[in-house]
Chain A
Amino acid sequence: MVEEQFKISLRHIRKAFPGVIALDDFSIDVRKGIVHAIIGENGAGKSTMMKIIDGVYQADRGEILIDGKHVDITDPIVSSKLGIAMIFQELNFMPEFTVAEHLFITREPRKLPGIVDWRKLYHDAAELLKTEELPYNPKTKMKDLSVSDIQLIEISRALSKGAQILIMDEPTASISEFEVRRLFRKIKQMRDAGVTVLYISHKLDEIFELADMVTVIRDGKHIDTRPTSEFDSETIVSAMVGRKVEDIYPTRDTKPSEVVLEISNLCAPKVCKDVSFYLKKGEILGFAGLVGSGRTEILSLTAGLTRYRSGTIKLKGRPIVVSSVSSAIKQGILMATEDRKRYGIIGIRSIMENISLPNLEFVSRFGVINLKKEKKISANIAKDLNVRAPSLKTLAATLSGGNQQKVVLARWLLRNPEILILDEPTKGIDVGAKHEIYKIMNDLSMKGIPIIMISSELPEIIGMCDRVYVVSEHNVIAEFSGSDITQENIMRVQTGGNRE
């Protein structure tokens, strides 16, 4: 049998970062003209692999072959010359540039050396958009486009530069259902034109719809590669996770009792109209829904991060007004936000200061901090949550995602919360730390602290929650509890729109 010619192959790639081996003896062969999905949990090494192919990182060991030939990809310029293009999860663009300028950046048509031929630039851009069937005006500014629009423009730009291998890093993470359809059509069209697509995701339904081949990656190691048809969701999940689902989600024995929080007819401009829900003591309540569905925004109202216009919030039967974060904190409604780097930790300050920040009044008199007391309470809670760091003075930015999350949790737990809201608490955290976070959540719940968890990861919702609200288009559209919390049920209402 003749050896099959692969478009791109990685052989025995190893890449280590301080404290973690991101890729370990990783090999993969990708055939030409297919959609090859790379699937794995957060922190499994997917993005590192992509960045090595794109030349952002260099492997410590191993080699890359394109069309069977050894290549040295020393930086993204080299990879672009080799016909590799990457569509990043967080798109890079200049907001004030026009679509045409963006499409031809660094290769603008010139009249004389250094002088841009603007007329030709806009003409060429219009032609390109036409052949790609994109309905944009070349003179539109990038900042006026949606994430999905920019993705499509990025793809067109890559194709116009002769890209043969297109890498997409979780492109559907923040676009709407309609836009996903549009993107998938484009991807299929590209594949049929002979382009090889490497598609990174951890969403199973997308993989089954789109991919011809699937590679599962876990803890930096290659686990399995097969045609998509040979997988089903159960085999993929167990390959991804490497253990049984019961082992990831620790069990807990609580009986939700009386209603602690009751939200009725909450209304805020651009956030929601008439949202109602409740939370019971001892409950872990899930808020499921696609990114952009409004979950975070709705709960931000409850935690005072944004203000609501009308509606009532009842805490333990007593109506309260939440007008700011500090008023929410005073009532005991605490929220650990999703974007830890932006809204959670203060990277340049120490673990201790991060923990004590909203709790300084406990260790102060007349505005003067008792530093010894502060150290003591911070150390105790950090120890309880098993924060791993050289010392309390370690800067928060140097911690891993899991430990940063623990610091944020520690900050709020010092206050004995009435209600704890966790927005994507395990995002960007490795499997082991995830398990620890889940255990902490269970402990708290058993202590009677009710928890609301917003999550995009259905397995997490299913594994942890007693009850789930599904949010779509800024509204709570369905509620499931107990054994009704299933992937099928949630997916059905999520994608089905407004049916009950």
Chain B
Amino acid sequence: MKTIFGKRDIKLNTGSIINKYGIYFILVLLLVLCSALSGNFFTVKNLLNISRQISVTTMIALCEMVLLICGGINLSAGAQLCLSGIISIYAYLATESVMLAVVVAILVGSFLGVINGVITCYLGVPAFITTLATNMIFRGVINVWTGGQTIWGIGGYSILGQGYIGIVPIPMIIMIIVVALIGFITKNTILGRRLLAIGGNQNAASASGVNVKMNTFIAFIISGALAGLAGAVHLSRLSMGIPTAGEGYEMDAIAGAVIGGTSMTGGVGSALGVLIGSLIIGVINNILNLTNVTSYVQDIIKGLIIVVAVLLDIQTKRNFK
């Protein structure tokens, strides 16, 4: 064995390369396969279309990743998305300002994150249970508030989800900014390091002076804010405030995060990985649509992919436990 400082001893074995970059191989393979399956796949129009379709999933997947890396989870993401989105629409209808509506969505999402955070970090309820419960509560609030009725006629608000700058869809731009921001937070900030440390070994993090409660609490707020932003984009894409929006999205998002290399047991995850994970899911959805596979079969295929992804995750982690 050599010390850290020998220069020639950087040795990557094939196993670790596949573990590290396997996800990119899969994506490339998928793109090649899809191009062969459908002539309509590898066109600028379709690819931009995919990016628009995955923007919301990616943001929700990031909202899961931020909590998964520190050992948490957010099962209320779908309801957070919907509630924030609907309040954002009300804000837009009252003020006609898209910018303000977006800020409202993020603030509402953050506030919902605070609720999750207080219950989990300061009252000590496990994140899984907390967010399972608040998912019901938030969804219930939406239905009570709207009376279960869809809000129509949102006018200019739809630019957020449907607009373009040049040929680039606005949701894609928002998604890229969010990926970059979360990537920066996880990789380059003290907060990110601490979240990874907490998820990797909470006891050790705590013994190193990391304030576990506070940092996890912040992760809940960020997670909520992302769900809120995703809500504004999503409802804007739909052109309506539908009270069932986002139902079950957290599951797709967790799948995307895990396929993208986020560990379900904490300590590992990256924003870029999550983007790739969502892309893989998005591409699969897209090609299944292009080749007219029914949505029932799509569910089966997606489920199988999640199993494979988690198996890969377990395999990778087994080496370190």
Residues of A within 8 A of B (CB): 19, 305, 324-326, 328-329, 335, 337, 342-349, 351, 353, 356-358, 360-361, 364, 367-369, 371, 379, 382-383, 386-392, 395, 397-398, 411
Q: Which residues of B contact A388 (CB under 8 A)?
A: 1-3
Q: Does B320 contact A (CB under 8 A)?
A: yes
Asked if A348 and B207 make an inter-chain contact with CB atoms under 8 angstroms apart, the answer reads: no
Given contacts A349-B200, A360-B190, contact A344 B209 (CB under 8 A): no
Given contacts A369-B190, A390-B11, contact A382 B4 (CB under 8 A): yes
Q: Which residues of A contact B4 (CB under 8 A)?
A: 351, 379, 382-383, 387, 389-392
| In the complex, per-residue mask of B1-19: 1 if CB is within 8 Å of any chain A CB, else 0 | 1111100011100000000
Asked if A343 and B188 make an inter-chain contact with CB atoms under 8 angstroms apart, the answer reads: no
Which residue of the partner chain B has the closest CB to A398? B320
Asked if B209 and A379 make an inter-chain contact with CB atoms under 8 angstroms apart, the answer reads: no
Q: How far is the CB of B262 from chain A (nearest CB, A)?
A: 12
A348-B317, A358-B209 known; 14 other A-B pairs, CB under 8 Å? Answer: A325-B209, A328-B209, A329-B209, A349-B196, A351-B4, A357-B194, A357-B205, A357-B210, A358-B208, A360-B190, A386-B3, A390-B10, A391-B9, A398-B320
Q: Does B291 contact A (CB under 8 A)?
A: no
Given contacts A329-B209, A346-B267, A383-B4, contact A364 B190 (CB under 8 A): yes
5 closest cross-chain pairs (CB), A and B: A346-B200, A326-B209, A348-B267, A397-B320, A346-B201
In Å, the complex CA distance between A411 and B208 comes to 9
Asked if A348 and B200 make an inter-chain contact with CB atoms under 8 angstroms apart, the answer reads: yes
Asked if A383 and B207 make an inter-chain contact with CB atoms under 8 angstroms apart, the answer reads: no
Given contacts A343-B207, A346-B267, A348-B320, contact A368 B189 (CB under 8 A): yes
Q: Does B211 contact A (CB under 8 A)?
A: yes
In Å, the complex CA distance between A325 and B209 comes to 5
Asked if A325 and B206 make an inter-chain contact with CB atoms under 8 angstroms apart, the answer reads: yes
Which residue of the partner chain B has the closest CB to A329? B209
Asked if A342 and B206 make an inter-chain contact with CB atoms under 8 angstroms apart, the answer reads: no
Given contacts A357-B210, A360-B190, contact A342 B204 (CB under 8 A): yes
**Residue in B11, B197, B207 with the greatest tally of chain A CB atoms within 10 Å:** B207
Given contacts A335-B207, A357-B205, contact A347 B320 (CB under 8 A): yes
Given contacts A353-B196, A367-B191, A389-B1, contact A346 B204 (CB under 8 A): yes
In Å, the complex CA distance between A319 and B2 comes to 46
Q: Which residues of B contact A360 (CB under 8 A)?
A: 190, 193
Q: Does B268 contact A (CB under 8 A)?
A: yes
A-B contact list, 11 entries, CB within 8 Å? A325-B208, A342-B201, A345-B204, A346-B201, A346-B204, A348-B267, A349-B200, A364-B189, A369-B193, A390-B2, A397-B321
Q: Does B58 contact A (CB under 8 A)?
A: no
In Å, the complex CA distance between A210 and B201 comes to 40
Which residue of the partner chain B has the closest CB to A399? B1
In Å, the complex CA distance between A326 and B213 comes to 13
Q: Which residues of A contact B9 (CB under 8 A)?
A: 390-391
Within 8 A of A (CB), among B156-193: 188-191, 193
Q: Which residues of A contact B210 (CB under 8 A)?
A: 326, 357-358
In Å, the complex CA distance between A344 and B2 comes to 23
Asked if B197 and A369 make an inter-chain contact with CB atoms under 8 angstroms apart, the answer reads: no
Residues of B within 8 A of A (CB): 1-5, 9-11, 188-191, 193-194, 196-197, 200-201, 203-211, 263, 267-268, 317, 319-321
Q: How far is the CB of A361 from chain B (nearest CB, A)?
A: 7
In Å, the complex CA distance between A346 and B196 comes to 9
**Residue in B11, B204, B267, B317 with the greatest tally of chain A CB atoms within 10 Å:** B204
Which residue of the partner chain B has the closest CB to A371? B188
Which residue of the partner chain B has the closest CB to A378? B4
Asked if B189 and A367 make an inter-chain contact with CB atoms under 8 angstroms apart, the answer reads: yes
In Å, the complex CA distance between A392 and B191 comes to 21
In Å, the complex CA distance between A96 and B210 comes to 33
Given contacts A388-B1, A390-B9, contact A361 B197 (CB under 8 A): no
Q: Which residues of B contact A369 (CB under 8 A)?
A: 188-190, 193
Q: Which residues of A contact B320 (CB under 8 A)?
A: 347-348, 395, 397-398
Q: How far is the CB of A297 from chain B (nearest CB, A)?
A: 14
In Å, the complex CA distance between A361 and B189 comes to 10
Q: Which residues of B contact A349 (CB under 8 A)?
A: 196-197, 200, 267
Asked if B3 and A383 make an inter-chain contact with CB atoms under 8 angstroms apart, the answer reads: yes
Q: How far is the CB of A304 from chain B (nearest CB, A)?
A: 8
Q: Which residues of B contact A342 (CB under 8 A)?
A: 201, 203-204
In Å, the complex CA distance between A379 and B6 comes to 12
Q: Which residues of B contact A328 (CB under 8 A)?
A: 209
Asked if B211 and A343 make an inter-chain contact with CB atoms under 8 angstroms apart, the answer reads: no
Q: Which residues of A contact B194 (CB under 8 A)?
A: 357
Q: Which residues of B contact A387 (CB under 8 A)?
A: 3-4
Asked if A357 and B197 make an inter-chain contact with CB atoms under 8 angstroms apart, the answer reads: yes
Q: How far is the CB of A102 from chain B (nearest CB, A)?
A: 26
Q: How far is the CB of A340 from chain B (nearest CB, A)?
A: 9
Which residue of the partner chain B has the closest CB to A328? B209
Which residue of the partner chain B has the closest CB to A349? B200
In Å, the complex CA distance between A152 and B195 comes to 43
Which residue of the partner chain B has the closest CB to A374? B193
Asked if B196 and A344 make an inter-chain contact with CB atoms under 8 angstroms apart, the answer reads: no
Asked if B193 and A343 make an inter-chain contact with CB atoms under 8 angstroms apart, the answer reads: no
Given contacts A342-B204, A346-B205, contact A379 B188 (CB under 8 A): no
Q: How far is the CB of B55 from chain A (nearest CB, A)?
A: 26
Given contacts A348-B267, A369-B188, contact A357 B1 (CB under 8 A): no
Q: Which residues of A contact B10 (CB under 8 A)?
A: 390-391
In Å, the complex CA distance between A244 and B300 comes to 68
Q: How far is the CB of B74 from chain A (nearest CB, A)?
A: 21
Q: How far is the CB of A320 from chain B (nearest CB, A)?
A: 16
Q: Which residues of A contact B319 (CB under 8 A)?
A: 398
In Å, the complex CA distance between A343 and B267 comes to 15
Q: Which residues of B contact A397 (CB under 8 A)?
A: 320-321
Q: How far is the CB of A251 from chain B (nearest CB, A)?
A: 26
Which residue of the partner chain B has the closest CB to A337? B207
In Å, the complex CA distance between A382 and B3 comes to 9
In Å, the complex CA distance between A353 and B192 comes to 11
Q: Which residues of A contact B207 (CB under 8 A)?
A: 305, 325, 335, 337, 343-344
Q: How far is the CB of A60 from chain B (nearest CB, A)?
A: 21
Asked if B203 and A343 make an inter-chain contact with CB atoms under 8 angstroms apart, the answer reads: yes
